[in-house]
Amino acid sequence: MLQPFRHALKDQTPLYVFVAVLFLMGVVFGALMVNALTLEQQQDLSRYLGDFFVSVNQGGTEFNQLDFWAVAALHLKWLGLIWILGLSVIGLPGILILDFLKGVLIGFTVGCLVGQFTWSGLLFALVSIAPHNLIIIPALLIGSVAAIGFSLGIIRSRVLMNRSGSVARPFLSYSGLTLAMVLVILAASSFETWVTPVMMSWVTPMLEQVLNPV
């Protein structure tokens, strides 16, 4: 039962390092993209964020009615796509692109908040983005490493070494690890659905003061 986890953590350390560095590069790139926005785009973004914070602070309907399965589906689709790309073997570049894009999205979001609201924006990012992503991001990276490892194993055994052995065991290990990450993502999604909105409501009054100083 624990063999897939031991294999992933022990034998694939270089892949973990590579994928983690790729993700962090995406975060940095996303944060730098904020500086490339025009003044008009920054103003539009500021207005959008301002309306969102007012809605959160006033308990807007779109804020209070977060659906667990909608939140979970968003993350599970990402993991599912990684799993499918791993099965396709030729989808290896796609896995790396997805990890990089995930970093870009997070880096851009945090960069926008910090750029518009400085320390208050950073605090909002810490309560609204960081908590569940501290669980989801490692789960996606573990899924990515498992997908890359599975694809490389198929390439080595079938293409480079011309072996025709069964792929059932590697497939079961790969799918079992991915299924475990599904459970982790479901747990993180429950936190994002029911706990994160409460934490956000604690911080948004501070952001409203930044937007509308007395």
The pTM of the full predicted model, rounded to 2 decimals, is 0.87
Phi-psi region of 118 (alpha: psi -120 to 50; beta: other; left: phi over 0): left
Backbone angles phi, psi at 207, to 5 degrees: -70, -35
* Contact in structure between 120 and 39 (CB atoms under 8 Å): no
What ranges do the domains of the chain cover?
3-211
SS3 call for 41: helix
User: Tens of pLDDT along the chain (214 residues)?
Assistant: 455 555 556 678 889 999 999 999 999 999 999 888 888 888 888 788 777 777 766 655 455 557 899 999 999 999 999 999 999 888 899 999 999 999 999 999 999 989 888 888 889 899 989 999 999 999 999 999 999 999 988 888 766 555 656 678 889 989 999 999 999 999 999 999 999 888 888 887 776 666 555 5
Closest CA to 181 of 86, 48, 43, 59: 86
